[in-house]
Amino acid sequence: MANKSIKATSSFRILVINPGSTSTKMAVFEAEAEKMQHTISHPAAQLKPFQRIVDQTEFRLNLVRAFLASQSIEPKSLQAVVARGGLLKPIPSGVYAVNKAMLADLLEARYGEHASNLGAVLAHRIAQEAGCPAYIVDPVVVDEMEDIARLSGLPELKRKSIFHALNHKSAAREAARMIGKTYEEICIIVAHMGGGISVGAHRNGRVIDVNNALDGDGPFSPERSGSLPVGQLVNLCFSGSFTLAEMKRKLVGGGGLVAFRGSNSFTDLKKAMDAGDANAVLLYEAMACKVSQEIAKHSATLKGKIDCIVLTGGLAKDDTFTAKIIERIKHLAPVRVIPGEREMLSLARGALAVLAKQEKTMEYT
């Protein structure tokens, strides 16, 4: 996607849909200006009747329609609908038109179940009603890794590229603008820190190495275990104490802070630390250390040529946390803190780039 800001008329009205595990976010943009937005939270009890993620389609579709109606937005007034991408086969970065092949893989959950799988499905349905195109932008399966990065110590186990690609790319482009360069010109390390944590080495517009932030390696996070001692993990798997589903839950959703403290709330951890809770202090310091180590690792990936390091995501809003990381990595390169995820704006910009004919639509096959 283009590094420069897109100049387009406000006639480009774009609906953005971002389905998550516990919420559905919606917004209407006119060019890059967010005109209205709404987030609907979904308590676990509300989603319990749906056996599979795809079964939530009509439920969430009606929420989107209700949002548009409440804002007096006629679907026919939309020039595009864009949504968060889901678990698809590995693909390059870009803006993808929603097509039959994509919908088939998402509806079948061919590459895994996740709430984000609903994004393209919902976008497609609304776009049909509106008579406009539907897109996804930089889904979590963006794969630009070098071959050397794919190798583990076993040929049966290849490292996968599953990470917060949308915000990685957005934050990297913003950092490039800050230093007066284009994303394609720089070498940069981006650490997205949220419910999951992904740290990637970006070189000349490509993420050449990144940890699998869904169920793989990297730092532990509020709800994911990250890298684990392999031998001990194998023993735990074959101990007879846990089923396959329970072990997977330990890695994703039940790992990290959830495993240690029973909550994924980083805010609560910070409050406990400030109150003198020794366990909270240890976990807070350890998480900052693990993120720093993952960043430092990519100094070797980029052979020491680093224009900038970016700390982004929800946890980057915590000045104390970012300060602890910066203290450990500031010798490597200048550090920029770009807090938050800005997913809605990033999605809108992706669709806008295509509408303004500054980018070509990519095809999922």
Identify the DSSP state of 264.
-
pLDDT in tens, 229-241: 999 999 999 999 9
Q: What integer is the mean pLDDT of 176-190? A: 97
Rg (CA), the chain: 20
- Collapse the DSSP code of 97 into the 3-class scheme (helix H, G, I; strand E, B; otherwise coil) and give the result: strand
Residue 114 lies in a domain: yes
The pLDDT, as a whole number, for residue 214 is 87
Q: What is the pLDDT of residue 224?
A: 94
The pLDDT score that the predictor gives to residue 62 is 97
Q: Is 112 left (phi over 0), alpha (psi -120 to 50) or beta?
A: left
Q: Which domain holds residue 220?
A: 165-339
Q: Which residues contact 196 (CB under 8 A, 6 or more apart)?
A: 164, 213, 214, 221, 223, 224
In DSSP terms, 13 is beta-bridged to 30
Amino acid present at 41 = S
Has residue 233 been placed in a domain?
yes
Identify whether 51 is part of a domain: yes
Statement to judge: residues 182 and 124 lie in one domain: no
DSSP 3-state assignment of 211? Answer: coil
CB contact at 8 A, 101 and 364: yes
Tens of pLDDT, residues 108-133: 999 988 899 999 999 999 999 999 99
In-domain check, residue 3:
no
Residues 74 and 180 in one domain: no
Say what the pLDDT of residue 8 is: 47
Digit-coded pLDDT (tens) for 277-297: 999 999 999 999 999 999 999
Q: Are residues 250 and 114 in the same domain?
A: no
**pTM recorded for the entire structure:** 0.89
Q: Phi-psi bin for 131: left (phi > 0), alpha (psi -120 to 50), beta?
A: left
User: CA 166, CA 85: separation in Å to the nearest integer?
Assistant: 9
Q: How many CA atoms lie within 13 A of 122 on its CB side?
A: 32
The answer to whether 18 and 24 have CB atoms below 8 angstroms apart is yes
Question: Average pLDDT of the chain?
Answer: 94
Predicted confidence band of residue 92 (pLDDT cuts 50, 70, 90): very high
Categorize the per-residue pLDDT at 3 as very low, low, confident or very high, splitting at 50, 70 and 90: very low
Give the strands of the sheet with 95-97, arranged side by side: 33-41, 23-30, 13-19, 80-84, 134-137, 95-97
